[in-house]
Amino acid sequence: MSTHTNDYVPHAPGYVDNEGPKVVTSRFPYEDSFTMERSLATGGYEGLKAALAKSPAEVAQEVKDAVVLGRGGAGFPAGIKWGFMPNIWPRYLVVNGDESEPGTYKDRLLMERDPHQLIEGCMIACYALGLNQCFLYVRGEMPLAHERIATALNDAYAAGYVGKNVMDTDVSIDIVLHWGAGAYIVGEETALIESLEGNRGQPRLKPPYFPAAKGLYYQPTIVNNVETLANLPWLMVNGAEAYKQMGSEASPGTRMLAVSGHVKRPGVYEVEQGVVSFRELFYDDNFCGGIRDDNELKMFIPGGGSAPWFFEDQLDVPMEGRTVGAAGSMLGSGALVVMDETTDAVKACLRVVRFFARESCGKCTPCREGTSWEEKVLQRILDGHGRPEDIDLLLEIGSNISPGTYPVAAFGDEGLEAVPFPPKQTTICPLGPSSVAPITSAIRRFRDEFEAKIDASSDDAAEPVGAAAGGH
Amino acid sequence: MSRLNPANVTLAHEIISHYPKKKSALIPLLHLAQEQDGYVADDAMEHIAELVEVTPAEVLGTCSFYEMFKRHPVGTYMINVCTNIACQLMGGEELLHHAEETLGIRPGGTTDDGLFTLEDVECIAACTEAPCLQVNYRHEYRLSTDDFDALVADLRSGKRSDIPAHGTLGTVRQHIPADRRAGIRHPDDEGTPAWFASRQPAES
Give the pLDDT mean for A56-85. Answer: 94
pLDDT at B156: 97
Higher pLDDT, A192 or B1: A192
Give the pLDDT of residue A5: 43
Selected for mutation to probe chain A from B15, B128, B184 (highest A CB count within 10 Å) is B128
Read off the pLDDT of residues A379-391 as tens digits, 9 standing for 90 and up: 999 999 999 999 9
Tell me what pLDDT residue B10 has: 98
Decide if B195 and A259 are in contact by the 8 Å CB cutoff: no
**A337 touches B128 (CB < 8 A):** no
What is the structure's pLDDT at A415?
44
Alpha-carbon gap, residue B53 to B50, rounded angstroms:
5
The mean pLDDT value of chain A amounts to 91
What pLDDT, in 10s, does the model give residues B151-161?
999 999 999 99
Q: Do A108 and B173 touch (CB under 8 A)?
A: no
What local confidence, expressed as pLDDT, does residue A423 receive?
65
Main-chain phi, psi angles of A268, to 5 degrees: -105, 120
Q: What is the pLDDT of residues A227-239, one digit of tens each?
A: 999 999 999 999 9
Q: Which residues pair with A134 in a beta bridge?
A: A93, A175
**A469 confidence band (pLDDT: 50, 70, 90):** very low
Cross-chain residue pair B67–A181, CB shorter than 8 Å: yes
Residue ranges and CATH numbers for the domains of chain A are 36-244 (3.40.50.11540), 254-340 (3.10.20.600), 345-457 (1.20.1440.230)
Measured between beta carbons, the chain B residues lying within 8 angstroms of A339 are 89
Rounded average pLDDT over A321-343: 93
Which pLDDT belongs to residue A471? Answer: 40
Residues of A whose CB is below 8 A from B184: 132-133, 174
pLDDT of residue B105: 98
Percentage of chain A modeled with pLDDT above 70 = 91
Query: Which 8-state DSSP code applies to residue A92?
Result: E
Residue in A356, A346, A436, A351 with CA at minimum distance from that of residue A395: A436
pLDDT bin (cut points 50, 70, 90) of residue A416 is very low
* Gap between the Cα atoms of A251 and B131, Å rounded: 33
Contacts of A359 (CB under 8 A, 6+ apart): A183, A184, A185, A431, B122
Encoded amino acid at B182, one letter = A
Q: Which DSSP string do the residues of B133-148 spell out, in sequence order?
A: EEETTEEE-S--HHHH
What distance separates the 2 farthest-apart alpha carbons in chain B? 75
Are A177 and B137 an interchain contact pair (Cβ–Cβ within 8 Å)?
no
How far apart, in whole angstroms, are the C-alpha atoms of residue A59 and residue A77? 15
Tell if the CB–CB gap between B18 and A12 is shorter than 8 Å.
no
Lowest mean pLDDT among A165-179, A183-197, A313-327, A361-375: A313-327
Mean pLDDT to the nearest integer, A195-224 = 95
Say yes or no to pLDDT of A51 above 60: yes
The pLDDT confidence band at residue A406, using thresholds 50, 70 and 90, is low
DSSP, collapsed to helix, strand or coil, labels residue A362 as: coil
Tell me the CA distances in angstroms from B30 to A123, A184, B19, B35, B39, one per residue in order: 28, 18, 15, 9, 9
The 10s digit of each residue's pLDDT in B161-190 is 999 999 998 889 999 999 999 988 889 888
Percent of chain B's residues with pLDDT above 70:
98
Nearest CA in chain A to B93: A351
pLDDT tens figures, B33-82: 999 999 999 999 999 999 999 999 999 999 999 999 999 999 999 999 99
> CA of B143, closest CA in chain A: separation in Å?
14
Judge contact between A437 and A406, C-beta under 8 A.
yes
Q: With an 8 Å Cβ cutoff, are B169 and A171 in contact?
A: no
DSSP per residue, A117-180: HHHHHHHHHHHHHT-SEEEEEE-TT-HHHHHHHHHHHHHHHHHTSSBSSGGGSS--BEEEEEE-
Tell me which chain B residues have a C-beta less than 8 angstroms from the C-beta of A136: none
Instruction: Please tell me the predicted confidence (pLDDT) of residue A411.
Output: 56
- Name the DSSP letter for residue A267: E
* Ordered structural domains, chain B, with CATH: 6-69 (1.10.10.1590), 77-156 (3.40.30.10)
Spatial contact of A198 and B23, defined as CB atoms under 8 Å apart: yes
pLDDT at B25 over 70: yes
Give the pLDDT confidence score for residue A465 in this predicted structure.
Answer: 53
**What is the rounded average pLDDT of the residues A291-316?**
96
Contact, A102 vs B86, CB < 8 A?
yes
Which one of A157, A174, A343 has the shortest CB-CB distance to B89?
A343
Q: Which residues pair with B81 in a beta bridge?
A: B120, B133
Q: Treating both helix axes as pointing N-terminal to C-terminal, what angle do A390-401 and A431-455 enclose, rounded to 10 degrees?
A: 180
Greatest Cα pair distance in chain A: 78
Instruction: Using an 8 Å CB-CB cutoff, list chain B residues near A112.
Output: none
Predicted pLDDT at A328: 86
Residue of A87, A130, A359 with shortest CB distance to B122: A359
Record: contact A198-B62, CB cut-off 8 A:
yes
Q: Do A105 and B31 touch (CB under 8 A)?
A: no
Percent share of chain A, pLDDT over 90: 84
Query: Mean pLDDT throughout A135-150?
Result: 96
The C-alpha of B78 sits at a distance from chain A's nearest C-alpha, in angstroms, of 12
DSSP per-residue letters across B174-198: ----GGG------TT--S--HHHHH
Nearest CA in chain B to A126: B196
Distance from CA of A253 to the nearest CA of B (A): 23
CA distance A310 to chain B (A): 15
Taking an 8 Å cut-off on Cβ atoms, the answer to whether B122 and A170 are in contact is no
Please enumerate in sequence order all residues whose Cβ is within 8 A of that of B130, keeping only pairs 6 or more positions apart, or say none: A260, A261, A266, B82, B86, B87, B89, B90, B91, B92, B142
What pLDDT does A468 receive?
A: 44
Shortest alpha-carbon distance between residue A198 and chain B (Å): 4
Distance to chain A for B28, nearest Cα, Å? 6
> Which chain B residue is nearest to residue A160, measuring alpha carbons?
B180
Q: How many CB pairs under 8 A join A and B?
A: 251
d(C-alpha A14, C-alpha A301), whole Å: 19
Contacts of B196 in chain A (CB under 8 A): 56, 130
Half-sphere exposure of A10 (CA within 13 A, CB side): 8
Closest CB from B24, B129, B177 relative to A198: B24
Best of A58, A89, A353 to mutate (most B CBs within 10 Å, chain B): A89
Contacts of B166 in chain A (CB under 8 A): none
